[in-house]
Amino acid sequence: MILENLVIPFQINNKIKGTIVRLSSVASQVINDSLPKNIKSIFADSISITVSIGSRMKNDGVFSLHIHSEGIIKTIFVDVNNNSSIRGYISVNDFENVENLPFERLVSNGTLALNIKEGKFSKNYQGLVEIKGKSIREAIDSYFNSSEQVKSFFKLFNIFNHEKYEPNSNYIAGAIRLELMPKINDFNNLEKPNEDWETMLMFLETLNSEEFLNIKKTSKQILLNLFGQYEIKIFDEINLNNNCQCSNERVLNTLKSMDQKEISFLFNHKKSIEVVCEFCKTKRVYTKQDLK
């Protein structure tokens, strides 16, 4: 069975929008295998959040998530663009025996930022919160609850919290996100949507990772099991990939934009330099001649 990497948008009772995300290779290619499990788990959740919010960007749009902290995790960066390509990197401080460190120590004094870049001609949007609480899920919840307009709920899943899961028979990570759409033209029925919302959150809380990450269940089955009693519209799936946006031309343009001092420093009497893409690890070699 081939494991897919997909996002499926859905809508319930025309009042609640949602996405289900289930990731295999797209996540495993990004997550560095040598990291401790608790760090991998945070990285995996960051990827799932990014995809669940940013998978429908249009016109050269890019959606990104940044975490910065003074704890063990220095930086996590994940983005997804309008071609459904996901990239991500993590940088960590030197560590020993961090397996049992709690979330707060891994991301102490941390911030979580979400950034939307939509094409050349539209404005960028960025929002930022301090990371408080005991999980990345609490951090993203406080991000959305601090803004009045959108009511959002995330349930995140990944294999790294579980000893017994095998990557080959399970998805690696994923999420279900629900978003209560703003009440527009709904004067007759102001109370009902909130009741439904609370019930749906309760249903979602009953879903465990064993069920969610199991490849034998299709994403549609999971959604119908959870929300089958409502009027649910399930849209076409979006397949994700890891195609990096880096290119020889882009790297050369960056190098050419540096001043002579910086360039001499880079070459430091060497005949050529090697530039490695921090996302896809592609190596490119340049001589001084190439920069002319």
Contacts with Zn ion by CB under 5 A lie at: 244, 246, 277, 279-280, 282
Measured from the CB atom, is 233 or 281 closer to Zn ion?
281
DSSP annotation string for the chain = -PPP-EEEEEEETTTEEEEEEEESHHHHHHS-TTS-HHHHHHHHHHHHHHHHHHTT--TT-EEEEEEE-SSSEEEEEEEEETT-BEEEEEEE---SS-TT--HHHHTTT-EEEEEEE-TTTS--EEEEEE--SSSHHHHHHHHHHTSSS-EEEEEEEEGGG-TT--TTTB-SEEEEEEEEPP--S-GGGSSHHHHHHHHHHHHHHT--HHHHHBTTS-HHHHHHHHHTTS-EEE---EE-B------HHHHHHHHHTS-HHHHHHHHTT-SEEEEE-TTT--EEEEEGGGG-
Measured from the CB atom, is 103 or 279 closer to Zn ion?
279
The CA distance from 173 to 213, in Å, is: 7
- CB 274 to Zn ion: min, Å: 14
- CB 90 to Zn ion: min, Å: 16
Measured from the CB atom, is 181 or 251 closer to Zn ion?
251
* Residues facing 90 on adjacent strands: 76
- CB 87 to Zn ion: min, Å: 7
Measured from the CB atom, is 201 or 285 closer to Zn ion?
285
Measured from the CB atom, is 239 or 247 closer to Zn ion?
247
Measured from the CB atom, is 204 or 244 closer to Zn ion?
244
- CB 246 to Zn ion: min, Å: 3
- CB 205 to Zn ion: min, Å: 38
- CB 168 to Zn ion: min, Å: 26
